Amino acid sequence: MPAKALADTDLTPPPGVITIFSDIWCSFAHIAVYRLHVTRKRLGLERRVLFDHRAFPLELLNDAPSPRSGTDSEVGRMGQQEPAAGWQLWQAKEYLYPSTTLPALEAVQAAKDQGLAAAEQLDLALRRAFWAESRCISNRKVILDAADSTGVVDIRALTEALDHGTARRALSEDAAISATERVDCSPHLFLPDGSDHANPGIEVRWEGDYGVGWPVVTQDDPAAFEELLKKAAV
């Protein structure tokens, strides 16, 4: 698809859905997704609002894997904003640190064949596996174990989808859209009313270069997610 057509792509979801472009090893997305889940539950909107996860693959956009020094520098600072989301400095062996999130992002897209509810639970489990459990989400078994932990994902169907690469094209299309000006960052949310919200609730700057310095949060409004969910439910 031509670049202009991609840039003009309508990303407005149907009523009752929030589209989320993000990467799994993005700490800001980890916070946003966690807050969406807990706020949706608190508001009693679990049957009225679903999350449509789309891939914002940072390694393709940056032409390099995400460095461990970068994610490590974010844990201490971003973990303070939402401790309950689950965080820890990498605890597994060095060689087990994931070099890519593409297999995990593809698995989330593949799980959509079982419904958005299954995909969003797999996405949440994979984020927890990486940020809170130091598990190598590049690894197929880790991905399938995360899927199994949800209790809602059909493991046999997901395995078959991964074997056949049925979601690879969807992943590539998301990457192409992410590379346009239509999507600004991870996370970027799109609502049924046509509005979009990049990294909602949080404003941040960097002290020093990424992977050397650290993020400085200048504003954080967790209540922003309540408004977004109410808009999606209308």
Q: Whole-angstrom Cα distance, residue 188 to residue 195?
A: 11
pTM of the model: 0.94
Label residues 10-42 b or e (16+ Cβ within 10 Å = b). Answer: ebebeeebbbbbbbbbbbbbbbbbbbbbebbee
Q: Whole-angstrom Cα distance, residue 199 to residue 143?
A: 26
- pLDDT tens readout for residues 168-184: 999 999 999 999 999 99
The fold of 13-233 is Glutaredoxin (3.40.30)
Q: Is the pLDDT of residue 7 over 70?
A: no
Q: How is residue 107 written in tokens?
A: 């698995």
Q: Whole-angstrom Cα distance, residue 22 to residue 55?
A: 6
Domain boundaries, the chain: 13-233
Which spans in the chain are helix H?
Answer: 3-7, 27-43, 58-61, 68-79, 102-111, 116-131, 140-150, 155-164, 168-178, 224-233
Q: Residue 2: which pLDDT band, with cuts at 50, 70 and 90?
A: low
- pLDDT tens readout for residues 50-88: 999 999 999 999 999 888 888 999 998 899 999 999 999
